[in-house]
Amino acid sequence: MKIILPVPVTDLTLKATNVAEDDHAVWSALTTYARGDYAISLVTHTVYRSLLSDNIGHDPDLEVAALADPLVDNPDPVYWQIIGATNRWRIFDGKPSQPAVQVGSISFEVTPGVFIGGIAGFGISANTVQVQVYAGPDMIFDNTVEMNDESAVTDWLAYFVEPYRPLEDFVLTDLPVLGTPRIVVTLTGSQVAVGQIVMGYVSELGITPQEGISFSGLDFSYVQTDDFGNLDTVKREATRLSDFAVTVPRSSIASITRILKGLRGGEPAVWIASETSAFAAINYGFYRGYRTIYVGADHAEISIEVQGIV
């Protein structure tokens, strides 16, 4: 069982990308916005929508900061609605269900400034994902992941009749040991989408046998039946609840507990019980709880429940 502890990507560490930040015009204090007009902020990399007519001179970034201030009671009126991150920054916004989209390819270069041992992607729609790591001018790691799911092809008939099902997730945990790498990621395809890219330090928790992995679906859709039996449905996002049983040495319990304690409060991480895509044993989410059971003189079993992030 491994986890990737995410390192945030910021304006300082994102060195290059081919994704433009031009979803809408940049907010201007001189522009009068009508109800429903959009604007973006290049400071917070956020898309906003105007909620009122004759909206002029009201900085959406300042309004959001005021709304987060507990000393401000029910600010009125509210001029702006947050739609989400700009297309460029959706790759790193922590919301896999809101992907960055671009025709042909999406590529970016980051210099995180710290050791990076693993990288994972979620909500991916691409033919290939190439990850390269540089030490100065020298490329020391180059791995291309083919985003094809061939698990349904079990015989020649399935080869010809099964529909093409691309993989949506990938994970690599063998990036070279280097203190300050330069990482270049390139995704290619006809219409590329990236829900989330997560990179960071890889921590080994213990051993998770195949029989110690289970998961279930969590659907946020709205389904209601009226008095006449008619269904009223609204399809929303769905995610995965993963249950991992991890066998660890007793001598490691304290350090593992410190890691889990540091991830409390909904802190996201990439949880990897198996890197085999067909097992669906990878989840980007937060733990809902854990339980430790001493099962022998030298070992213990930690049960961890993880809820995926949408």
DSSP output for 33-88: BPTT-EEEETTTTEEEEE-SSSB-S--HHHHHHHHT-TTS-S-S---EEEEEE-TG
DSSP output for 231-295: EEEE---EEEEEEEEEEEEGGGHHHHHHHHHHTTTT--EEEES---GGGT-EEEEEEEEEEEEE-
H helix runs in the chain, sequence order: 60-67, 156-161, 253-262
The answer to whether 14 and 108 have CB atoms below 8 angstroms apart is yes
Using CB atoms within 10 A of its CB, is residue 130 exposed (0-12), middle (13-18) or buried (19+)?
middle
Q: Which of these, 148, 173, 168, 129, lies nearest to 273 by C-alpha position? A: 173
pLDDT of residue 73: 65
Q: pLDDT digits over 183-232, tens only?
A: 999 999 999 999 999 999 999 998 887 666 888 888 888 888 888 888 88
pLDDT of residue 158: 46
pLDDT of residue 156: 47
pLDDT of residue 153: 46
pTM, full prediction: 0.88
The answer to whether 99 and 125 have CB atoms below 8 angstroms apart is yes
Q: What are phi and psi of 255, to 5 degrees?
A: -70, -40
The answer to whether 120 and 169 have CB atoms below 8 angstroms apart is yes
The answer to whether 126 and 145 have CB atoms below 8 angstroms apart is no
The answer to whether 147 and 130 have CB atoms below 8 angstroms apart is no
Full pLDDT tens readout for the chain, 310 residues: 999 999 999 999 999 999 999 999 999 999 999 999 999 999 999 999 999 999 999 999 999 988 887 776 666 678 999 999 999 999 999 999 999 999 999 999 999 999 999 999 999 999 999 999 999 889 999 999 999 865 544 554 444 445 556 889 999 999 997 777 899 999 999 999 999 999 999 999 988 876 668 888 888 888 888 888 888 888 888 898 999 999 999 889 999 999 999 999 999 999 999 887 767 789 999 999 999 988 877 889 999 999 999 9
Q: What are phi and psi of 98, to 5 degrees?
A: -115, 85
**CA pseudo-torsion sign 125, 126, 128, 133:** negative
